[in-house]
Copies of this chain bind each other. A is one copy, B any other.
Amino acid sequence: MVVEIVTTGTELLLGQIMNTNAPFLSEKLNELGFDVLYHSTVGDNRVRMTQVFNNALERSDIIITSGGLGPTQGDITKEVTANLLNRPLFLHEESVAHMTDLLAKRNRSMTESNLRQAMIPKGALVLRNENGTAPGVIIEHNNKIIIHLPGPPHELKSMFEQAVVPYLKSHFNSQGAIVSRVLHTYGIGESSLEDKIKGFILSQSNPTIALLARQGEIIVRLTAKGASKNEAQTLIDTLEKQLRQYIADYIWGLDNDTLEANIGEILTKKQLTVALAESCTGGLVTSRITDISGSSDYLIGSIVCYTNRIKTDFVDVTPQIITKLGAVSQETACLMAAGIRKKFAASIGLGITGIAGPTGATPTKPVGTVFIAIDGPAGIQCQHHTFNGQRTDIKYRISQTALHMLRQYTLSL
């Protein structure tokens, strides 16, 4: 089955936004065993969009589009398809009701333009949008399938996972199967990791092995093709076991595991609580911990002590230490961790102090310097790191390291 992904929107052609929908859809479709052979992008223009859709219908079996389902005059995707396939648009009452509900919740009322979004080509399957007002559609036409998804990535992603994947699976159960597995690593660089498993990378063709640098980590992706899902799964299991003989120490999770959820499970299981004193990360680590539903069971809270006064008055760092050793020092980090643990009566306290940049560096403490301390039942630990990058990259890398320290510490308890 040849798939073509058509992303629509003039902003893509102006280079104003990164096209994240095409790689997302491609990756997922490849995992399902489909051959994505073309990506096309076209602006919000009837004539050109019609030509691009027509061209895609000629060379591909399944066309998945993103964008142009919204309420504005520039949102023309469904109209173009309706004209091209000669399928009149009609008002889909269920979508109107869903939209009315959603708008009411946001204290907004239905407008004339909003109704445009509920216009559906005749005979189409309607995909409810759980995260927005514009429904998606699937149209089966002369042995071809056209799927229109909304442009905002979070709407597209959830609609794809929840509606399109089950649809494709039920219609094409003989694609064979491609299974892929992600091994999340920590504490090793890309080239060292590659050196450890180079023999496998060079000799393997099924499964394939790819090393990819993601924000704050290196992942190893194994992809196997088999006649059945089971067959592919077995291939992956075997390879994973072999790889673990060389890199087991660095693997902390699989597939969609997140560090935040993983930590949550450990803390819950061990009935531990945590409190944080964050300086340079400004609350980012706490915010990541609270991205997990149920985190109120193990997160007591935190103090973002962005000024020295808050560090001394609320987290028990002594002014002498700050004067003598600096707010960015191992001693300050340790006092922050111990102080917040005691103040908030948590099992574990985490203290983070550093220089996120681009200003604030000193001759001995460059931008990216950070001290991260943990205080808990197993005593106090502190790590010193120096990270590179933009301010927000540095903040993220520090948060990643702090969460890994927390994970290791709690695992050891």
Contact = CB atoms under 8 A, between A and B. Distances in A.
A18 B15 contact: no
A38 B38 contact: no
A283 B287 contact: yes
B12 A17 contact: no
Contacts of A70: 190, 213
A191 B71 contact: yes
Q: Residue among A106, A286, A295, A390 with the most chain B CB within 10 A?
A: A286
Instruction: Give the number of copies in the complex.
Output: 2
A210 B385 CA distance: 45
A326 interface: no
Interface in A48-105: 48, 51-52, 55, 59, 70-74, 102-103, 105
Nearest to A13: B36
Interface in A272-296: 276, 278, 280-287, 289-291, 293-296
Interface stretch (A119-127, A246-254, A305-313, A371-379): A305-313
Interface string A15-51: 1111110111111101000001111111111001001
Nearest to A305: B301
A48 B35 CA distance: 13
Contacts of A48: 37-38
Nearest to A103: B189
A40 B40 contact: yes
A391 interface: yes
Contacts of A138: none
Given A291-B395, A300-B310, A23 B27 contact: no
Q: Residue among A19, A154, A286, A287 with the most chain B CB within 10 A?
A: A287
Interface size class of A (residues with CB under 8 A): 35 or more
A232 to B, nearest CB: 14
B37 A191 contact: no
B15 A23 contact: yes
A339 to B, nearest CB: 13
Given A38-B52, A71-B194, A309 B300 contact: yes
Contact of A55 (B55, B74, B303): B55
A365 to B, nearest CB: 13
Contacts of A12: 22-23, 26, 39
Contact of A301 (B37, B73, B310): B310
Contact of A73 (B72, B194, B296): B194
Interface stretch (A165-173, A235-243, A353-361, A403-411): A353-361
A201 interface: yes
Contacts of A314: 301, 314, 343
Instruction: Return the 3 tightest CB-CB contacts between A and B, nearest first.
Output: A283-B283, A282-B290, A15-B27
9 contacts: A15-B26, A15-B28, A73-B202, A112-B195, A283-B304, A293-B358, A300-B306, A302-B306, A303-B304
